[in-house]
Chains A and B, each alone.
Chain A
C-alpha cells in the first residue's frame, strides 16, 4: 500500500501531469469566474476530448478544472453578485457586500485562502478515509435520506433574512418545482403540460444560472443611472496579512466548514450548491454576533468557500468507491471513468490504483496552485471589473448565461428554462421571496421524495411504515438533529437573552 502511494505521488511529477494541472487550474478559474459558465459544463465539454488521452491525464486535467472552477465561481459572486457556479451562491451573501464597500480584493483573497485550506482538508479525507466513509454512506438508506433532507430544509431559517414565513413558502415552492417531470416511483408524468422536454424535470443548472444571473443583470439596468460600473474601487492594503490572521485566529471556522463540505459532498445529489449554504448556516449559528453576516463579513466568505472546495473531494468519495456521484460535476467525471473502462469500486483502488492515487494527489496540487494563480489574477480582475461599464457588463453576463445553459446538454429548451427562472427570480426578489430557500427546495426535492416513497414501500413490505421511519438508529440521530436545527432560532434567542441579562 505504501509503495502504491509513493509511486503514485512520484508519477504525478511528470512534465505532462504538472502542465495539465496548471492548465486545468487556469482554465477552471476562468470558467468558474465567468457567470453563466459552470464547472459541470466545463468538465462535460471536455469528456469527449479525454477519450483519446491516457486515463490519468484526462482525470488529472478534469480534476484540476473541477477544483479550480468551484473556487473561480467566487470571483463573479463577489464582484457581480452572480455566482460563477452554483456552489458560489453562499459566497454572494457576504462576498458582494464586501465588494460594494470597495473591499473586493480582500474578499477574493479571503475566498482564495479559504478555498485552498478547505480543499486540502477535503482531499485529506478523500485520500485516507474513503473506504470507511463509503462504508458509512452505505448505512444510509431511504429513511435516512428522507430525514437528512428535512434537516437540510431547516437551513431555510437562516436563508430567509427577515421573514421566515416567506422563506418557508420559497422552500415549499422549490419542492413543488422539483416534482415536475416523471415521478421516481410509479413513473407518472407530472406537471409537464404536454411538453416532452419537461418530462426530464427542470434542468437544475440552467435554472440556477437564470435564477441568480438574470435578476442581477436587470438590477444593473435599474441602477445604471447612478452606477457606471458594478462596484467601486478603493485601495486596499495588507490584504494577504489580514486574511491569514483571520484564518489563524479562527481555526474552528475553517475546519468545521471543510468538514461540513466534505460530508455534504458525500451525500449523493447534494453537492457544492448545498454544502456552502449548510456551512454558512452553521457559521451563523456558531457566531457570537450573527448580525455581522450578510453585511460583508470575512467569516461568511470563509465558511462558504472552505466548504465548497472541500465538497469537491467529498463528492469524489462515493463516486470512486460506489460509482454514485456526490454532485453534478462528479456525475460527469463518472462518465469519463466509465469511458476509460475504469469501474468505480475496489478495483479502482487496486487494479487501477496507480491512476486513482495519482489523480487524488493531483487534487492536492491543484488546490495549492489556486493560491498563486488566484491571488495574482484576483488583483487585476477586481480592478478590471471596476472599469467595465455596466452597458457592456449586463449584456455580457446574459450572453454567457445563454451559452452556459445551452452548452451542457446542447438543448435550447434549457435556455428557455434559464430565462424563465430568471424572471421568476427577479419577481421573487421584489416580493422579498429570496432565492436561497427556493434553490434549497429545488435541489433537495427529489432526494426527499425518493427517500419518503421508497421508505413507505419498504415499510409496507416489512409490516410497519412508522417503524421504518422512526426506529432505525441512524434515522433517530437525524431526527434529533433536525428538531434541534428547526428549534435553533428560538434556542439561540433564549441563550442571547440570558447572556444579555447576565451582563446587566
Chain B
C-alpha cells in the first residue's frame, strides 16, 4: 500500500504542478481558486508522500484486482469498446454485441442448450426492451451510426 500511496502522491503532485502552471494563464479572478486548491492539494500530496516512508501499525496490502485480473481487464476493454462503438455501429447493435460479450467473459453455468437459449433470450429481450422504451416511447433518440 505504501508504494501505491507513493505513486498516487507523485501523480497528484504532477497534476498540481501542471495545474499551477496552467492557472497562471488565466485571468486573475479565474485563476484564484484553482491556485488555492492546487496549493492545498499539492501540500496534502506531499504529506502523503512523506508519510509513505513511515511504517504504520495497520498496513494493508495493495491489491489492484482481487482474484484473476484477466476478466476484469477484459470487462474494462468491453466497456470502453461499448462506449466508443455506439456512435459507429449504432446504439442497439453495439449494446447487443457488448452485452453478450460481457456475459461470456463473466462466464455462465449453463449446462444444457435450453439454459443457453434462455440466457440469449434474456439478454436480447432486456437490451431491445430498454432500447425501445427509451428510444421510441421517451423519444431519447440514441445515436444511429452505421446501423441502428
Chain A residues with a Cβ under 8 A of chain B: 45, 48, 162, 165-166, 168-169, 172-173, 175-176, 179, 183, 185-188, 190-191, 214, 217-218, 220-225, 228, 389-392, 394-396, 398-400, 402-403, 406-407, 410, 412, 415-416, 419, 422-423, 430-433, 448-449, 452-453, 456-457
Contact = CB atoms under 8 A, between A and B. Distances in A.
Interface string B74-91: 011001101100110000
Contacts of A187: 27, 30
A166 B37 CA distance: 15
A403 B133 CA distance: 11
Contact of B75 (A179, A221, A389): A221
B106 A172 contact: no
Contacts of B113: none
Given A48-B139, A188-B30, A391-B108, 20 more contacts: A169-B41, A169-B45, A172-B40, A173-B12, A175-B41, A176-B37, A183-B30, A190-B23, A220-B106, A224-B106, A389-B108, A403-B134, A406-B142, A415-B83, A431-B8, A432-B1, A432-B60, A453-B32, A453-B33, A457-B29
B116 interface: no
Given A45-B140, A191-B22, A394-B102, A218 B41 contact: no
30 contacts: A165-B48, A166-B48, A169-B44, A169-B45, A169-B48, A183-B30, A185-B29, A188-B25, A188-B26, A188-B31, A218-B75, A218-B76, A223-B67, A225-B68, A389-B109, A391-B106, A391-B108, A392-B103, A392-B119, A392-B123, A394-B106, A396-B99, A402-B86, A402-B95, A403-B130, A410-B141, A430-B63, A432-B1, A452-B33, A453-B33
B47 interface: yes
Given A173-B41, A179-B37, A430-B64, A456 B29 contact: yes
Interface in B106-147: 106-109, 119, 122-123, 126-127, 130, 134, 138-143
Contacts, number: 162
B148 interface: no
Contacts of A430: 4, 62-64
A186 B40 CA distance: 23
A398 B126 CA distance: 13
A399 B95 contact: yes
A457 to B, nearest CB: 8
Nearest to A393: B106
A182 to B, nearest CB: 9
Q: Which of B58, B66, B108, B139 has the most CB of A within 10 A?
A: B66
Contact of B29 (A168, A186, A395): A186
B148 to A, nearest CB: 15
Contacts of A185: 29-30
A452 B139 contact: no
B103 A391 contact: yes
Contacts of B4: 430-431
B99 A407 contact: no
